[in-house]
Amino acid sequence: MTTETILANATLVLPGETLRGQVRIVDGRIAEISEGRAVPKGAEDCGGDLVMPGLIELHTDNLERHIEPRPKVDWPHAAAIIAHDAELASVGITTVFDALRVGSVVSNAKANYGEYARTLADEILALRAGGGLKISHFLHLRAEVCSETLVEELDKFGPEDRIGIVSLMDHTPGERQFRDVTQLRKYVMGKHGMSEAEFEAHIATQKDLSARHGAVHEAAAVAAARRYGAVLASHDDTEVGHVARSAENGAHFAEFPTTVAAAQACNDHGIKVMMGAPNLIRGGSHSGNVAARTLAEAELLDIVSSDYVPSSLLSAALMLGDLWGDVSRGIATVTQAPAGAVGLVDRGQLVPGHRADVVRVARLGQAGALRGVWVEGKRVG
């Protein structure tokens, strides 16, 4: 039976422009875009609200918060995944790449980063197959090169696992995100309750792992991305040399470059730059690295990720639209640009033939209030 939804009298956020009009959805696809303020019988009158593509999230740590709501509390995974999925739907995210760490450190009891990705991936995929999730889920494997078990863990995944992204994570102390070891000390000692002596031992262990396994693990992650048919991303590029290596590896986008120089180098190499929405909204990086706004003002920001605050994604896109004086461009950083970066050709734009992943937003001053979320034409929020 044919299903039809019409969102009328809306400010449509289209590629490169906004237009007052309506979008007609038929059987889960966008069937027609038309101009005008008319509200046909049976249509939803949006009253000028923004109607835009569903938001696309490439990197989120949100699932971890549901799995481990308190230190050492392992919440039932099915319930946690369903809650995570529902939260994302409630803030307008209709496609997510769930970030899972691969590469463990099992010899350091105080900071025991044990293996979990394969089991959790199976649980996500099973819930998806069983119709238990509201939005579209893919996997993002965060490959920790500074680890002991990366190769073995990568080998447990294959092309059938909906892996869209493999990111190269190098957490060698004194490098990249935590060039300032003082910031690393605050983060690690606070998170794991380490003493000063335990922290110094942790630093020594991580540096040793990097020296012994770093090059081999980086090559293994690059090869695994190709084997899965996934896009490769870099993480925390800091120097021009980091970006050159990312380009050699075939990275499509860079997660959170830490300096203007690195972001500029990414731009020069055709690597899209992704920054965190919390960084933009807070006015700076919690790690003391470059501010997202600085990159936006320098025309060096392409994609936004909610990182650890799902509701920040929409707010950041609206903020960028205000900053640039172009609503469509701001919204594209969370829709069209991330879709393009990972090769999703069926979503991210309001155009006929695309999936009807659609969000309705009422603009309330500088904020946005969700009025409706549709995934493949079905209302989920």
Q: What is the pLDDT of residue 72?
A: 82
Same domain, 7 and 122: no
Average pLDDT over residues 178-190: 59
Same domain, 322 and 271: yes
pLDDT interval class at 284 (50, 70, 90): confident
Q: What is the pLDDT of residue 98?
A: 97
Average pLDDT over residues 114-143: 97
pLDDT interval class at 238 (50, 70, 90): very high
Same domain, 172 and 248: yes
Same domain, 22 and 137: no
Same domain, 215 and 287: yes
pLDDT in tens, 136-179: 999 999 999 888 899 999 999 999 999 999 999 886 665 655 66
State how far the Cα of 360 lies from the Cα of 381, in Å rounded to an integer.
Answer: 10
| H helical segments located in 309-368 | 312-324, 327-332, 336-341
Average pLDDT over residues 1-29: 96
Average pLDDT over residues 183-206: 63
Sign of torsion, CA 39 43 44 46?
negative
Q: What is the pLDDT of residue 112?
A: 53
pTM of the model: 0.91
pLDDT in tens, 16-36: 999 999 999 999 999 999 999
Find the angle CA(159)-CA(160)-CA(163) to the nearest 5 degrees.
Answer: 65
CATH of the domain at 91: 3.20.20.140
Task: Kindly tell me if the per-residue pLDDT of 109 is higher than 60.
Answer: no
Task: Kindly tell me if the per-residue pLDDT of 93 is higher than 60.
Answer: yes
pLDDT interval class at 366 (50, 70, 90): confident
Strands 358-364 and 4-14: unpaired
Task: Kindly tell me if the per-residue pLDDT of 199 is higher than 90.
Answer: no
Q: Give the other-Cβ count within 10 Å of 167's Cβ.
A: 26
The mean-pLDDT minimum among 268-272, 282-286, 296-300, 354-358 falls in 282-286
Same domain, 92 and 175: yes
Domain of 292? 55-346
The structural domain count of the chain equals 2
Q: What is the mean pLDDT of the chain?
A: 91
Sign of torsion, CA 313 318 321 322?
negative
CATH of the domain at 6: 2.30.40.10
Same domain, 286 and 331: yes
Average pLDDT over residues 59-82: 93
Same domain, 221 and 370: no
Backbone conformation region of residue 92, classed left if phi is above 0, alpha if psi is from -120 to 50, else beta: left
Same domain, 5 and 27: yes
